[in-house]
Copies of this chain bind each other. A is one copy, B any other.
Amino acid sequence: MAMKVALLGCGVVGAEVVRLINEQSAELGARVGAPLEIGGVAVRRVGGTRGTGLDPELFTTDAMGLVTRPDIDLVVEVVGGIEPARSLILAAVKSGKSVVTANKALLAEDGATILTAAREAGVDVYYEAAVAGAIPLLRPLRDSLAGDRVNRVLGIVNGTTNFILDRMDAMGAGFAESLEEAQSLGYAEADPTADVEGFDAAAKAAILARLAFHTQQVTAADVHREGITEVSAGDIASARAMGCVVKLLAICQRSADGDAVGVRVHPVMLPREHPLANVNEAYNAVFVEAESAGRLMFYGAGAGGTPTASAVLGDVVAVARNRLAATSAGEGGDDTGMPVHPMGKTVTRYHIALDVADRPGVLARVADVFAGNGVSIKNVRQEGHGEDAQLVLVSHQAPDAALGATVEELRGLDMVRSVASVMRVEAFADQA
């Protein structure tokens, strides 16, 4: 008895999913325990089979009809966006179909509603491809670490920005130039906003935080988000002088008292010895610190039609097996309700480069400002002379609000000509 799969969307990822299902049908049938069959493909405009080799009769514009059709077992949603994907997924779930999706925006915004509906209907909604492309990450977090306690997750989850920062580091180039190079090579879109402003990474951070900390209370809106548009060649050089690289990281961290989770995306200076520092080009990696398992890292291709399709297919096999066994994962049912705590309370460390007047007493005045905000200085060096005089400081760890207040006060000092650069530093020296 075949498992009938309906596809929503037949673009780069959808067409590749179809191709893999056809090409590996024997192996997939053996691994699932029943043959997989494409029952229908919903597209916006019928005409042509998108190189899938499928019977043109399978294509339809009636997506809602397809997801509620009685003979369909499983729906693969690869159109993306909030609507109509949300309505279609909810309709599929309420009709007793399991769903596999790659839709990070939808899950980040409304994952709790969808997972609740899935639990009530006794079906699965799986979404490995939504966070880190091909990397099996969500299933290990959800399943293998089910008996463990996650304390922190650091992730390079956007290949576009990682590629750009990697080029800036390799070429000493500025952001605009490296963005152009990324666009010409196909690593960045014509409108790169979602990637370079950190929206893509923030959606993934929300999904990661919910899974890692067993809470349904995090949405993309809760994530403190900064992209890489303000990262300069000077920042990269400063980082290198400190033995660090600059990465755009998604960071999800249990608060010190364990009662809340901080979720943020922003550029970070990271020591070169850190396993994440050597994740180059458009690769992604997620570094997990768990109570018993210790340090773990998952690395792989974050995007691309074929890697994403492979993650979708892994979920299709899992969900199909669950259906054959008349069971489902019941994800989201263990909601601890742990809330997100505000960015101001997140404990972190700042690297600050100040263009200063070249005269005595500047360091003393600057140190005063730090002390007044309750922030200690870890190290400081003075660079350049005259017009180029610069003070470069790394703080000790302190709440982000105190660090931000320190920077604002420094900006107001008349011996500080400008704040040339501010960046958070993670996993540094005595930090774990």
Contacts and interface: CB of A to CB of B under 8 A. Distances in A.
A312 B148 CA distance: 10
B134 A296 contact: yes
Contact of A307 (B33, B278, B293): B293
A30 interface: yes
A8 interface: no
Contacts of A310: 145, 147-148, 290-293
Given A143-B318, A149-B24, A325-B327, A293 B134 contact: yes
A203 interface: no
A58 to B, nearest CB: 20
What is the count of identical protomers in the complex?
2
A80 interface: no
Contacts of A416: none
Interface stretch (A182-190, A232-240, A253-261, A298-306): A298-306
A377 interface: no
Contacts of A316: 147
Given A293-B300, A294-B134, A297-B300, A128 B147 contact: no
B307 A147 contact: no
A379 interface: no
B299 A299 contact: yes
Given A294-B301, A299-B297, A307-B292, A314 B128 contact: no
A135 B301 contact: no
A143 B319 CA distance: 10
A291 B313 CA distance: 13
Contact of A24 (B147, B275, B297, B326): B147
Interface string A272-297: 00010011000101000011111111
Contacts of A313: 146-148, 292
Contacts of A290: 134, 310
Contacts of A139: 139-140, 143-144
Interface string A345-364: 00000000000000000000
Contacts of A144: 128, 136, 139, 311, 314-315, 318
A290 B24 CA distance: 14
A192 interface: no
B147 A330 contact: no
A125 interface: no
A128 B145 CA distance: 11
A50 B297 CA distance: 32
Nearest to A314: B144
A309 interface: yes
Interface of A: 16, 20, 24, 27-28, 30-31, 33, 128, 134-136, 139-140, 143-149, 214, 275, 278-279, 283, 285, 290-301, 304, 306-307, 309-318, 325-327, 330, 333-334
Q: Lowest 7 CB-CB distances: which A-B pairs, in order?
A: A147-B313, A136-B144, A292-B310, A136-B140, A325-B327, A134-B293, A297-B299
14 contacts: A28-B147, A30-B333, A30-B334, A31-B334, A134-B292, A139-B140, A143-B318, A275-B299, A291-B310, A292-B306, A293-B300, A293-B307, A293-B310, A293-B311
